[in-house]
Amino acid sequence: MYPHERSLVSRLDGKPFALLGINSDSDREELKKTLVDEQITWRSWWDNGNINGPIQTKWQVSVRPTIYVLDAAGVVRFKDVKDRDLDKAVDTLLGELAARPKKQLQ
C-alpha cells in the first residue's frame, strides 16, 4: 500500500491534493521507524496506539485500512477505494475542481 501512496503523492505534487494518514500502532517508536523506512512523507497522526483512538472513533473506522476521499469542500465523496480506483477518484475530483469557473474557487 505504501508504494502506491508514495506514487500518488509524487504524481500529484503541486496539485490541490493532500494525503493524510492515521496510525493505530501501539508502539510509537516503532511507528516512527516505519515512517522513515517506508518513506512516508505525508502527514500521519498517531491515534493513541489503539484501534479505538479518538480519530478512528469519530470517523467510524472499523476496517483497516479505510480510505476516505474528500472533495475541496470537505465532503466525503468516495470510501474504501484502493489502487487504480483511488487514482480514478482523486483524478475525478481534481478534474471537477479544474472545471469550475475561477470565480467559484474563491
The full set of domain ranges for the chain reads 2-94
pLDDT digits (tens, 9 = 90+) for 44-77: 999 998 889 999 999 988 888 899 999 999 999 9
Closest CA to 20 of 32, 8, 28: 8
Amino acid type, 99? A
Q: Are 18 and 42 in contact (CB under 8 A)?
A: yes
Is the pLDDT at 5 greater than 60, yes or no?
A: yes
CATH number of 2-94: 3.40.30.10
pTM for the full predicted model: 0.83
What pLDDT is recorded for position 104?
Answer: 61
The Cα 48–Cα 27 span in angstroms is: 10
Strands (DSSP E) found in 3-91: 21-23, 44-46, 68-70, 76-79
